[in-house]
Amino acid sequence: MTMWQSGMGGPGGQHNAWMKLMGIVTHKERRHHESGPTSAERALNQSLPKLSSQEEDGHTPHSHYTGVTHFEPIPHDHDFCERVVINVSGLRFETQLRTLNQFPDTLLGDPARRIRYFDPLRNEYFFDRNRPSFDAILYYYQSGGRLRRPVNVPLDVFSEEIKFYELGELAINKFREDEGFIKEEEKPLPSHEMQRNVWLLFEYPESSQAARVVAIISVFVILLSIVIFCLETLPEFKHYKVFNTTANRTKIEEDEVPDITDPFFLIETICIIWFTFELTVRFLACPNKLNFFRDVMNMIDIIAIIPYFITLATVVAEEEDTLNLPRAPVSPQDKSTNQAMSLAILRVIRLVRVFRIFKLSRHSKGLQILGRTLKASMRELGLLIFFLFIGVVLFSSAVYFAEAGSEQSFFKSIPDAFWWAVVTMTTVGYGDMTYDARRCMGQNRRFTLRHRWRPDDRVTRARHRVQFQLFLPSGDGPGGDAVAEFQPCNKLSVSAGHAGPAHEKGFVERVLVRPRGT
Distance of CA 240 to the CA centre of its chain: 53
Nearest-angstrom CA–CA distance, 33 and 41? 11
pLDDT tops 70 at residue 288: yes
DSSP state of 495: B
Residue 95 belongs to a domain: yes
Distance of CA 105 to the CA centre of its chain: 29
Could you tell me the CA-to-CA distances from 324 to 242, 260, 321, 330, 332 in Å, in that order?
17, 18, 5, 14, 16
Residue 44 belongs to a domain: no
**Do residue 308 and residue 167 come from a single domain?**
no
> pLDDT tens, 364-402?
778 888 888 888 888 888 888 898 899 889 988 888 888
pLDDT tops 50 at residue 29: no
Distance of CA 338 to the CA centre of its chain: 51
Q: Tell me the mean pLDDT in the region 454-479.
A: 52
> Which has more confidence, 363 or 454?
363
CATH number at residue 210: 1.20.120.350
**Do residue 220 and residue 361 come from a single domain?**
yes
Residue 170 belongs to a domain: yes
> Which has more confidence, 122 or 430?
122
**Do residue 214 and residue 344 come from a single domain?**
yes
CATH number at residue 426: 1.10.287.70
Q: What are phi and psi of 310, to 5 degrees?
A: -70, -40
**Do residue 344 and residue 274 come from a single domain?**
yes
**Do residue 298 and residue 206 come from a single domain?**
yes
Question: End of a domain among 408, 438, 468?
Answer: 438
CB under 8 Å to 26, separation ≥6 — which residues?
A: 16, 19
Question: End of a domain among 157, 179, 201?
Answer: 179
**Do residue 389 and residue 305 come from a single domain?**
no
Give residue 91's domain range.
79-179
Question: End of a domain among 179, 201, 217?
Answer: 179
Residue 147 belongs to a domain: yes
**Do residue 136 and residue 212 come from a single domain?**
no
- Cβ neighbours of 417 (radius 10 Å): 26
DSSP state of 24: P
**Do residue 128 and residue 233 come from a single domain?**
no
> Which has more confidence, 287 or 68?
287
**Do residue 292 and residue 169 come from a single domain?**
no
Letter for the amino acid at 108? L
Cα angle: 458, vertex 464, 470; to 5 degrees: 135
Nearest-angstrom CA–CA distance, 388 and 258? 44
Q: Which residues, in sequence order, are bridge partners of residue 498?
A: 495
Residue 289 belongs to a domain: yes
Nearest-angstrom CA–CA distance, 391 and 471? 40
**Do residue 381 and residue 361 come from a single domain?**
no
Q: How many CA atoms lie within 13 A of 60 on its CB side?
A: 10
> pLDDT tens, 305-353?
888 888 788 777 766 665 555 555 555 555 555 556 666 676 777 777 7
Residue 145 belongs to a domain: yes
DSSP state of 133: H
Residue 121 belongs to a domain: yes
Residue 173 belongs to a domain: yes
Q: How many CA atoms lie within 13 A of 296 on its CB side?
A: 6
**Do residue 210 and residue 358 come from a single domain?**
yes
**Do residue 158 and residue 250 come from a single domain?**
no
Q: Domain count of the chain? A: 3
CATH number at residue 172: 3.30.710.10
Nearest-angstrom CA–CA distance, 498 and 28? 88
Nearest-angstrom CA–CA distance, 17 and 32? 17
pLDDT at 379: 86
Rounded to two decimals, what is the model's pTM?
A: 0.53
